[in-house]
Structures are given as structure tokens and as C-alpha cells.
Structure 1
């Protein structure tokens, strides 16, 4: 099952080498993902990791200014027990601007 979504790409890395006789060639993309706030013990965002084909894909985005917004196509697959989401395509659309005003300092409780 494929679906389209806009994502904030925070970073990327690739690996293309042979380890103990096995060839590895992949790109991983890290995207901003909201934390699950339902339990009350997490807030904000983290970077989720997605597989995105071979190291050739890294070359397509390595010179872009990070972070950036991208229209992405993802695909959900399963082996019958586990579900995995992989990136099919990443199309940059805009650089993410830094906030104009720095947030106010947060005082520790009890002060």
C-alpha cells in the first residue's frame, strides 16, 4: 500500500561497503515525527528513520540545506507478522525556515 505525505527531512546517511563478504548499499533518511503524547510522558518531536533505496539516493539530496520539506511517497509492507514503512521517493519542496524569535527560557519548577 503506497501513500503520499509531506515530511520534514532532518538528515540522511548512506552505507555502501562489503562487511564479512556481504554487500550493503543503502540510504537512511531521518524525518521529524511527533512523539506519542497520549501517555503523558513525552512531548515534542523526534527523528524517525526510514530506508530509502541505495546510496545513489543520498547523492540526490546531500547538497540540499537541511532541514527541508519534501513530498514523499511511502509504502507499507508486511511479512505477515511485522509491518515496515519504506520511502519510495523524496521530492524537496522548500527549506524549513528557522524561527524568527528565540523561545523564552523555561524556568525550573519551584523557582
Structure 2
């Protein structure tokens, strides 16, 4: 089952390389996440989001956010999946929110 929420994207990193004959192709995004229980403030949490091509869809927003010191807000759809022994949260989609909407 997936769920959507509006979150701040703090960064992203594409990978498209081959090392020792193994090809790696992914995008990781870093979302601002509040601490649970005793923690105060926020941390960034890394999530997998498909291949390196996904990065290009949000790169312009990341650049504007960095240049203007604005937060980059997006609707992110995530899903919790399992390997049978581990639980993993993966990102299914990212829909940037126009910066004008963020400023309202």
C-alpha cells in the first residue's frame, strides 16, 4: 500500500556507473524528517527512487531552491515493501510543488 505526503526534499543524487563489471543505476533522494520520541528538530533520510533518469525531473527545482534558499517541496508517494526479512520504504513518485505555491 502506498501513501502520499508533502515533504521537503533536501537533496538528491544520481548514480549511473559500472564498477568491476556491475552496473549501478539509481537516484537517491534525501527528505527532511522529524525525530521521534526524545529527538528535537529534523534529520534527512535517504530513500531509493528508481534509476538515474528520475534525477533530471527534479534537478531544476533543486537548483532554484539552492540559489534562492527556498525549501523544495514536493508530493512524494512512498510504499513500504519487504524482502521477507527486511522492511524497505521506496519512493514511487515525486511531484514538485511550484515555488509560488510554497510561498503562499
Unaligned 5+ segments in structure 1 are: 98-111
**Stretches of 4+ aligned residues off by more than 4 angstroms:** none
**What are the residue-to-residue correspondences of 1:1-111 with 2, within 5 Å?**
1-36=1-36, 38=37, 40=38, 42-64=39-61, 65-66=64-65, 67-95=71-99
Unaligned 5+ segments in structure 2 are: 66-70
Give the structure with higher Rg (CA): 1
Q: For the aligned residues, what is the CA RMSD?
A: 1.4
Q: Could you list the per-position Cα deviations for residues 42-88 of structure 1 after superposition, in whole angstroms to 9, with x for gaps in the alignment? A: 21000011100001000111111233111111111001221100001
Aligned positions, number: 94
The TM-score normalised by the length of structure 2 is 0.83
- Structure with more of its chain in helix, by fraction: 2
